[in-house]
Chain A
Amino acid sequence: MQKITIKKGHNINISGLASREFSNAPTQKFVSISPQDFNYIKPKLLVKEGDQVSLGDALFFDKMNPEVKWPSIASGTISKIVYGERRAVLDIIIEIDEEKEKNIESDKQINLSSKDNVKEFIQKHNFWPFFTQRPFNKVVNPSDSPKCIVVSLADSSPLANDLSFSLAENKEYIISALSNLKKLTDGQLYVAVRGDNFSFLSDYDFINLIQVEGPHPSGNVGVILNRVNPLNQNEVVWTVQGSHLPVLGKLFSKGIIDFSLNICVGGPAVKPSYIKSRIGARFDLYKDFLLMENVRIISGNVLTGKQVDFEGFLGFYHSSFSVIEESFERPFIGWLHPGGKSKYSVFNAYLGSNKKSFDFTTLQNGSNRAFVPVDAWEKVFPMDIYINALARSIEANDIDEMEQLGIYECDEEDVALCSFVCPSKSDVGAIIRKGLDTIYFDK
């Protein structure tokens, strides 16, 4: 077992952390898969409204990479396809037919003896979207051979789904999923855990277990990679979401397609809970948990998640909803406030701030300003990358310099804390994404 300790970073002390027990909630009637959750794809639909689909049927494929198809995450009827600007597909909503889902047969022909067999099996069931790659954080190209595969079971983001609790009953599936993931790479399979969680994984030689310590973003795939096996130019690393391991494990071990997922709902504006649910779940079933009216619902965590409306759905790679208050307050001379309970800052500029868990709202707490480098980003960015210089090279559109400064190792989620602490209220994640886009479309 390898141990890595991250020093730079910050655990945001936000209130609304769910306790480790499941709450009851109605079963889902609708689920959705959104092509917007996947970077750099051009979706071509294979279904239309009213079509009958069953679990795992292909819903759409990527025109740039037709091998990769997206599975139907439920059996039932396509009830609605939501289009946005320029006919971008926003949501493919499926009305679940529970009877049909129960009667679905498992795949009995499982042959996973070699790398090619595993790939064929994934292809057959349209499971490629579960595999994402670094750089670019996009769905993998199945013909690539990754230099290693990383799975993080140590999500450190605020109010994250605690996988040591929500995956507790899926031990055998996790092992099955990991053993088959190992077949996909000639390199290492890294699995990151925190403390003594998932200690049973240390019995398996094919897993390169990494114990991470330290504040967020220590659990991020990018940060772990930067420490154990830095990503170089022209290399590809694959990753899957820790929360998806049971889904993969069920397919690999028993041929069962089952998209159930234990999600967590947290945040200052909601009664925090764990719920047995499924991928692409709709939020409005959990409306009873809300504590107030005027809220922002976020699919994913508060740093990198996506804002959804009341009838919005869980993003494909997300396993939690976060809910915070939409605040429009304008405190009198707020920038002169001495501190106390109503302020939170990683700077020591407010008396007694960030000691207790804090009710964050959607306020930006300041206007956007030109960037003043007060060494704030660097304090929460643990990689050996000059993030400030990188951001400048991106703004200058200098692709060579971006590559030299290590843009391939970064992803939006790794720099989310930089945006959180930035006194100039810059959006560092958007800058990194802009740089990645520039490189991606240049090639």
Chain B
Amino acid sequence: MDFLRKIFEETGKFVEKGKPLSWAYPVWEAADTIFFSTNKQTSKGPHIRDNMDIKRTMFFVVIALIPCYIFGAYNIGYLNALAMEIERGIVGNTIFGFTYVIPILIATFVAGAICELTFAIIRKHEVNEGFLVSCALIPLTMPPDVPLWQVFIGTSFGIIIGKEIFGGVGTNIFNPALTSRAFMYFAFPTKISGDKVWAVGPDGYSGATALAIPANPVEYDTASNLFSANTQFDYSTLNMFWGLIPGSIGETNKLLILLGAFFLIYCGIASWRIMVSSVLGLVFTALLFNLLNYLTVDGILQAGGFPNAMLTITPLQHILIGSFLFGTVFMATEPVTSSHTNTGRWIYGFLIGVLTVIIRSINPAYPEGVFLAILIMNMFAPLIDYYVVQANIKMRLARNV
């Protein structure tokens, strides 16, 4: 350790103020404090401080994502073996999957680091660890066979437009990882539009995702019947929970996402209010749509026309299909872009749930609505906070008679 410490002390001399290389100080500082905790002292005010810092906060989110990575890799291998009709075993499947995941991960981190370091140098601030989380999230929202150049461009777009042009972490209004996901969704629709199956298979291999089945049925039926009629993949409720279905790399296994959620809530990093309320919003709207479907198809309001199979998806299926849980746990809870008040967090989360179902069910062009719902609510979060704070102001004014 002394040797490493010495290297940093020696190289540190080159980036001191006034030296020709002083522009590189943020880069040096980032590396230095990754290896050795900062020895910055308290100056006044609280002379003692808690041991939690942003480095650890961000790193814990990354830890929560690691199981999703491992399962994601295994799932790629599993689905590939299924399509190729070969047997590879758990380890073989995982290794096969990692040969797809790791290049995406590298492309993301290279793009993210270049953007973050460039802005840190230009703006002369220390490197913020927030980009680690954004970069760890982006690959998990990608299909396994996405071209790396697209990942590179998408990540750069997300970090720069989603975050840096607003002033960096703490002042951004959109979740950078979702911004890059949305960018790729609209810029490269042939690869990740969400209706074609996302699995690595032989050439021309294709199929329908769970969400695409009720969105474009050949003949109207309830979603549950349509799922069980599909023979290509096992879209039973249980299997959708375990996640051996095609999808983005990180979102399929709901158990691991729930574990990540409990971990983040236990550590006090992510807001449980947002997670709970968005599930409530989703359940509420899904039930409302089930009722609407019941009334229009079976009930008194037999209006005619082509009935929408999306309205028959049960709340549980809504939770398990697609990226809802992943988005709720890891994206919606991003502290900067979500609501900053606890009352606001309830409203914010609830509306994410509502919007998710509306976008999914009403608009067949976007079978997956989670990322759009979260981005829209990112936009409205400051407005929600504004009204929550105004209520507090009114209370205080009323008291001051």
Contacts and interface: CB of A to CB of B under 8 A. Distances in A.
Interface of A: 12, 14, 230, 232-233, 296, 298, 302-307, 322, 324, 326-336, 343-350, 353, 360-376, 378-379, 384-386, 388-389, 404-406, 412, 416-417, 419-425, 427, 429-430
Contacts of A361: 48
A240 B119 CA distance: 51
A304 B170 CA distance: 26
Contacts of B34: 333, 335
B49 A347 contact: no
Given A369-B126, A372-B336, A386-B392, A423 B341 contact: no
A412 B129 CA distance: 29
Contact of A421 (B52, B171, B340, B385): B52
Contacts of B129: 369
Q: What secondary structure prevails in chain B residues at the interface with A?
A: loop
A371 B38 contact: no
B130 interface: yes
A304 to B, nearest CB: 7
Interface string B374-401: 0000000000010011001101110110
A326 B50 contact: no
A365 B47 contact: no
Interface in B329-343: 335-336, 340-342
Nearest to A10: B50
B47 A296 contact: yes
A353 to B, nearest CB: 7
Contact of A345 (B1, B52, B397): B52
A363 B41 contact: yes
B269 interface: yes
B56 interface: yes
A345 B51 contact: yes
A429 B44 CA distance: 10
Nearest to B48: A360
Contact of B41 (A233, A362, A424): A362
Contacts of B126: 367-369
A326 to B, nearest CB: 7
Contacts of A304: 45-46
B268 A367 contact: no
Given A385-B392, A425-B49, A366 B38 contact: yes
Contacts of A328: 39, 41
Contacts of A368: 40, 126
Interface string B34-75: 111111111011111111111111011000000000000000
Contacts of A353: 51
Contacts of A335: 34, 37, 53, 55-56, 59
Secondary structure dominating the interface of A? loop
Nearest to B171: A370
Contact of B267 (A305, A348, A365): A348
Contacts of A346: 50, 52, 268
B41 A416 contact: no
Contact of A332 (B1, B49, B52, B169): B1
B334 to A, nearest CB: 9
Contacts of A385: 392
B171 A365 contact: no
Given A303-B48, A330-B37, A365-B52, 7 more contacts: A330-B39, A347-B268, A347-B269, A363-B49, A370-B168, A373-B340, A406-B392
A229 to B, nearest CB: 10
What 3 pairs between A and B have smallest CB-CB spacing? A366-B53, A334-B37, A370-B170
25 contacts: A303-B45, A304-B45, A304-B46, A305-B47, A330-B36, A331-B37, A332-B4, A335-B34, A335-B56, A335-B59, A345-B52, A347-B50, A349-B269, A363-B39, A366-B37, A367-B33, A367-B38, A367-B126, A369-B129, A371-B170, A372-B336, A374-B57, A412-B45, A416-B45, A420-B48
Given A335-B55, A363-B39, A386-B389, A349 B60 contact: yes
B169 A364 contact: no
B266 interface: yes
Given A348-B267, A405-B393, A369 B169 contact: yes
Contacts of A416: 45-46
A160 to B, nearest CB: 14
Interface string B1-43: 1001100000000000000000000000000011111111110
A406 B399 CA distance: 11
A389 B38 CA distance: 29
B46 A423 contact: no
A423 B335 CA distance: 12
Given A364-B38, A364-B42, A298 B47 contact: yes
B271 interface: yes
A365 B369 CA distance: 41
A22 to B, nearest CB: 26
A8 B186 CA distance: 45
Nearest to A367: B38
Nearest to A296: B47
Interface in B256-285: 266-269, 271
B170 A374 contact: no
B383 to A, nearest CB: 13
B237 interface: no
A345 B396 contact: no
Interface string B239-260: 0000000000000000000000
Contacts of A336: 56, 59
B46 A365 contact: no
Contacts of B38: 330, 364, 366-367
B128 interface: yes
Nearest to A346: B50
Interface-central residue, B39, B267, B341, by most chain A CB under 10 Å: B39
A366 B389 contact: no
B269 A230 contact: no
B348 to A, nearest CB: 13
A333 B50 CA distance: 17
B336 A373 contact: yes
Contact of A350 (B51, B266, B399): B51
Interface string B141-166: 00000000000000000000000000
A46 B49 CA distance: 41
Given A367-B126, A369-B169, A343 B51 contact: yes
Interface string B173-196: 000000000000000000000000
Contact of A372 (B1, B33, B170): B170
A232 B128 CA distance: 40
Contacts of A405: 389, 392-393, 396
Best-buried of A350, A364, A404, A420 by chain B (most CB within 10 Å): A364
B335 A326 contact: no
Given A363-B40, A386-B389, A429-B45, A375 B271 contact: yes
Nearest to A333: B35
Interface in B315-340: 335-336, 340
A362 B97 CA distance: 47
Contact of B169 (A334, A345, A366, A372): A372
Interface in B191-207: none
A225 B332 CA distance: 37
B52 A378 contact: no
Contact of A349 (B45, B268, B399, B400): B268
Contacts of B53: 335, 365-367, 369, 423-425
A306 B43 CA distance: 10
Contacts of B5: 330
B45 A419 contact: yes
Contacts of B33: 367
